[in-house]
Every structure is written in C-alpha cells, then in structure tokens.
C-alpha cells in the first residue's frame, strides 16, 4: 500500500460513515471507487477483500477490515476524539455503536433491499420495516446515556448515525413516511452533523448537496453511482 489506509467506497454508501470518521480525525487515506453500476462489490477482486460483497472495506496496516461498526471502532482506537477512552462513557458509546450496527442498520437494510429478505411481498415488508425503524429511532431519541447525540462534534456512533438518517430520507421506496420532526433530538443531531468539517469534505467528494443529513437531496457524485 502506498497510503496507510485505503477506503473502498461508493458514493452515499455505508463507506460514507467511514469517510466521515477518517476526515473527522484528519487521517490520511486513499479511496478506491467500487463501481456499483457494474456490481463491482460482487467482483472476484472485491470478494477477496470482503467475501460478503458489501461496501465498505478499509485496508489498514492491521489487515483488511469490513463491517462499518468494526471499521469505526478501529479508526477510533487509532485516533483520539471519536470515542471516550474508558469508563461508563465509553461503555455507553460502545453500546450505541453496536446498536447502530446490529439493530438499526440491519433494519434499514430490510427497507433498502427488501428483495434480499423476502421472496414474497416486498412492499408489505417495507411497511412493517418502516414501523420498526420509527420505533428504534424513538428509542434512540429518548436515550439518557448518549451524550454523543447532543454533541456538536463527530464521534464514532455519530458518524454511523448521520448517513443512516440521510438514507432513510432518500431511499427505500416512498419516503414520505420519514419525518425527523417526530424525533426532535435526532433532528437537532442531523442539523449539527450538517456543519461538521468532515461533512464539508464529503459534500465535495460524494456530491451530497446542502443540508445532507437534516434535509437531504439525492447526491450528484463526481464519480461512481450510489446503486
Ligand atoms: N453490515 C454491513 C452492511 C454494509 C452495506 O449494507 N453496504 C451496502 C451499501 S450501503 C452494500 O454494499 N450494498 C450492496 C449489496 O447489498 O449488494 C456493514 O456494516 O458494513
């Protein structure tokens, strides 16, 4: 590797979470575009990095990493500022990071890729999935142990959450159901995330447009495609 870190990405994909974290800590990295229009994530070359055929991958001096949550944790372990170092604050931040990875993100995937989860009525699955997502967002909105949610600065869980709020507003069929006003704390979070310096970089590199997390528009990336 010519650069210590290499992010395999597609615009507005889960790689955006990693990009935000890397830019938040100022870590130098290279990007490698995964051509989703050509199903590059299922190519033999990519599957050799991530046999799951999913984006992102981060190549690191410690090896090839996949799974967004694991990558965010790795970045946080190597750069100060994304997670509390120890104690109850770290425990709570890890709890929510894993919740985002194991609970909210998989539910979002059922909305974005219903055909991968049912051979039956995809739209019916989407209807129940929207209800599940809203219930999960209400749980997060009420969390008493998530100060990262109210911070103006990015953290590992915040870098995971902000893109998911964006995707919920943009993808997954009819998006009229999604209204951040129902979760005012998450709305305030998204407004703050709009102003991160890492967000400004992603607005350029991935064409995210204005207010990318609180009131997003479909992206106009300089290269690649979202799907
Ligand atoms: N559990 C995986 C999920 C990643 C994921 O869903 N990536 C999407 C892009 S946002 C993807 O690669 N989709 C392509 C596909 O499903 O074929 C992670 O956290 O990294």
Note the pTM of the prediction, 2 decimals. 0.97
**Residue 27 maps to a domain:** no
How far is Cα 214 from Cα 211, in angstroms, rounded to an integer?
6
The phi, psi pair for 36, rounded to 5°, reads -65, -30
CA–chain centroid gap for 61, Å, is 23
**Residue 109 maps to a domain:** yes
What domain count does the chain have?
1
**Residue 181 maps to a domain:** yes
Ligand 1 near 98 CB (within 6 A): no
**Residue 131 maps to a domain:** yes
**Residue 154 maps to a domain:** yes
Give the closest residue (by CA) to ligand 1 atom 12: 54
**Residue 41 maps to a domain:** no
How far is Cα 60 from Cα 79, in angstroms, rounded to an integer?
13
CATH code for the domain in which residue 124 is found: 1.20.1050.10
For ligand 1, mutation pick of 51, 53, 55 (most atoms within 8 Å of CB): 55
CA angle, residues 128, 93, 106, in degrees to nearest 5: 25
Ligand 1 near 67 CB (within 6 A): yes
Residue ranges of the alpha helices (H) in the chain?
15-25, 44-49, 68-78, 87-99, 105-112, 122-141, 156-170, 184-194, 197-205
The full length of the chain comes to 227
**Residue 105 maps to a domain:** yes
Q: Which domain holds residue 166?
A: 87-196
Digit-by-digit pLDDT tens for the chain (227 residues) are: 456 899 999 999 999 999 999 999 999 999 999 999 999 999 999 999 999 999 999 999 999 999 999 999 999 999 999 999 999 999 999 999 999 999 999 999 999 999 999 999 999 999 999 999 999 999 999 999 999 999 999 999 999 999 999 999 999 999 999 999 999 999 999 999 999 999 999 999 999 999 999 999 999 999 999 99
**Residue 35 maps to a domain:** no
């Amino acid at each position: 590797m010519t650069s210590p870190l290499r992010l395999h990405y597609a615009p507005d994909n889960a790689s955006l979470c990693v990009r935000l974290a890397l830019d938040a800590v100022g870590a130098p990295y290279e990007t490698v575009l995964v051509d989703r229009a050509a199903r590059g994530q299922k190519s033999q070359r990519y599957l050799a990095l991530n046999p799951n055929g999913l984006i992102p991958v981060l190549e690191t001096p410690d090896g090839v990493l996949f799974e967004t949550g694991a990558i965010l944790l790795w970045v946080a372990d190597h750069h100060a500022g994304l997670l509390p170092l120890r104690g109850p604050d770290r425990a709570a931040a890890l709890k929510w990071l894993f919740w985002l990875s194991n609970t909210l993100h998989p539910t979002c995937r059922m909305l974005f890729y219903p055909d991968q989860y049912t051979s039956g009525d995809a739209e019916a699955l989407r209807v129940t999935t929207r209800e599940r997502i809203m219930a999960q967002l209400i749980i997060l909105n009420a969390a008493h142990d998530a100060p990262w949610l109210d911070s103006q600065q990015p953290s590992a869980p915040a870098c995971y959450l902000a893109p998911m709020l964006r995707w919920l507003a943009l993808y997954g069929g009819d998006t009229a159901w999604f209204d951040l006003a129902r979760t005012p704390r998450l709305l305030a979070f998204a407004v703050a995330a709009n102003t991160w310096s890492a967000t400004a970089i992603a607005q350029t590199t991935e064409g995210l447009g204005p207010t990318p997390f609180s009131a997003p528009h479909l992206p106009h990336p300089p290269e690649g495609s979202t799907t």
